């Protein structure tokens, strides 16, 4: 049974500043590991350097908040956090996104 994740658009508590204004996150259809989530800007932008400073900040703040939840929900000992920026970096969809993959020591048994 896969643990449930928070809804893609969490409501901030009254004392918290409004977050996720330019960013959203979602679980993907074919995850690499359980809990694999993508964090992406709402505006379709192909390259990381094309984001505004505000969008880049919101993207990483959102990724950090979601990462904390993933570590707790999936009892992860770490996270793999790739951002494939451009075709030459392995980007398969022309839209900036950060992958969050909850990891465990057994994932890397040698």
Domain boundaries, the chain: 23-108
On whether the 23-108 domain is CATH 3.30.428.10, my answer is yes
On whether the CB atoms of residues 41 and 57 are closer than 8 A, the answer is: no
In the predicted model, what is the mean pLDDT of residues 51-58?
94
pLDDT at 74 over 90: yes
In the predicted model, what is the mean pLDDT of residues 10-19?
41
Nearest C-alpha neighbor of 73 from the set 4, 20, 1:
4
């Amino acid at each position: 049974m896969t643990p449930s994740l928070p809804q893609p658009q969490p409501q901030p508590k009254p004392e918290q500043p409004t977050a996720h204004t330019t960013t959203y996150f979602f679980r993907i259809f074919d995850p690499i590991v359980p809990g694999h989530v993508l964090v992406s800007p709402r505006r379709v932008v192909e390259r990381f350097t094309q984001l505004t400073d505000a969008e880049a900040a919101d993207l990483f703040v959102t990724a950090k908040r979601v990462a904390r939840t993933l570590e707790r929900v999936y009892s992860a000992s770490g996270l793999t956090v790739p951002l494939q920026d451009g075709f030459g970096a392995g980007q398969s969809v022309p839209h900036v996104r950060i992958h969050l993959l909850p990891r465990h020591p057994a994932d890397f048994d040698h």
